[in-house]
């Protein structure tokens, strides 16, 4: 990858989305995790670094109002073709500078987005979320306690730089939230489609059951879950 094409450049993502957009649409678990953990506290959602816009589309399908923002013109154009009914929800813009846009939402979230940034940039993103969000701030990151998942990413990273993103331990992501004055609650999600919340989603279970499965997990879930999903109540700041 040359300097012009690092993860923080539009050029990198414009190229990348041409080859990965369709594959991403096959995994719709995360939109359900977001809806389940929002637990009826929001009607209006914002997704940062929406990429494939699959979560934006999933949440709309579940009946919520939703906006997704991504700076890759290619990802936005692919999403407008794939989801013509969502054209008004697809915003091509910088997630660090949403002040250019006039909106406020109940819940904002990202998935696999913070892992491409350093600590200072993560703080800026979380502060931006806090500025536009009235109820819940969420961020889902890759879980470094799951060694199998981490090793899988390391092995793929040799051939594909998409996989060389940062994984987080619970204390690291908690620290990122606390450093901007947010009180994080960390949940473990993503069971490789084979157990827990993933099976409930595949079965079409109600959001309340999916939420119960996520919030009642024991400590062993930390080592087998793909992601840490952090939720902070804006009012608890």
Tell whether residue 106 is a contact of ligand SAM (CB under 6 A).
no
Can residue 71 be called a binding residue for ligand SAM (CB under 6 A)?
A: yes
Q: Which stretch binds ligand SAM (CB under 6 A): 90-98, 151-159, 185-193, 202-210?
A: 90-98
Whichever of 113 and 168 has its CB closer to ligand SAM, that residue is 113
Q: In whole angstroms, how close is the CB of 57 to ligand SAM at the nearest point?
A: 10
Q: Would you count residue 113 as binding ligand SAM (CB under 6 A)? A: yes
> Which of residues 42, 45, 51, 176 is near ligand SAM by CB under 6 A?
51
CA distance 202 to 215: 18
- Tokens standing for residue 231: 């939720």
- Distance between CA 104 and CA 111 in Å, rounded? 19
Does 128 help bind ligand SAM (rule: CB under 6 A)?
A: no
Q: Is 122 in the site for ligand SAM (CB under 6 A)?
A: no
Is 54 among the residues that bind ligand SAM (CB under 6 A)? yes
What phi and psi values does residue 235 have, to the nearest 5 degrees?
A: -70, -15
Vertex 65 angle, CA 226 and 197, to 5°: 25
Per the CB < 8 A criterion, the answer to whether 168 and 115 are in contact is yes
- Calculate Rg over the CA atoms of the chain: 17
Report the residue count for the chain: 237
Which residues bind to ligand SAM, rule: CB under 6 A? 8, 13, 24, 49-52, 54-55, 69-72, 75, 94-96, 111-113
């Amino acid at each position: 990858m040359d300097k012009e094409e690092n993860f923080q450049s539009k050029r990198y993502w414009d190229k990348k989305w041409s080859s990965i957009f369709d594959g991403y649409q096959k995994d719709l678990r995360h939109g359900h995790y977001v809806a389940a953990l929002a637990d009826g506290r929001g009607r209006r959602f914002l997704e940062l670094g929406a990429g494939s816009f699959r979560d934006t589309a999933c949440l709309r399908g579940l009946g919520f109002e939703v906006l997704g923002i991504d700076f890759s013109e290619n990802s936005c154009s692919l999403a407008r073709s794939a989801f013509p009914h969502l054209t008004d929800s697809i915003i091509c813009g910088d997630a660090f500078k949403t002040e250019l846009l006039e909106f406020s939402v109940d819940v904002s979230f990202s998935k696999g987005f913070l892992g491409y940034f350093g600590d200072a940039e993560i703080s800026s993103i979380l502060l931006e979320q806090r500025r536009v969000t009235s109820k819940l701030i969420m961020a889902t990151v890759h879980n470094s306690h799951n060694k199998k998942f981490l090793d899988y990413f390391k092995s793929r990273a040799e051939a594909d730089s998409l996989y060389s993103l940062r994984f987080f331990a619970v204390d690291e992501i908690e620290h990122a939230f606390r450093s901007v004055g947010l009180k994080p609650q960390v949940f473990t999600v993503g069971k490789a489609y084979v157990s827990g919340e993933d099976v409930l989603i595949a079965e079409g279970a109600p959001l309340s059951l999916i939420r119960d499965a996520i919030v009642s997990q024991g400590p062993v879930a930390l080592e087998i879950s793909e992601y840490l999903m952090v939720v902070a109540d804006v009012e608890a700041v």
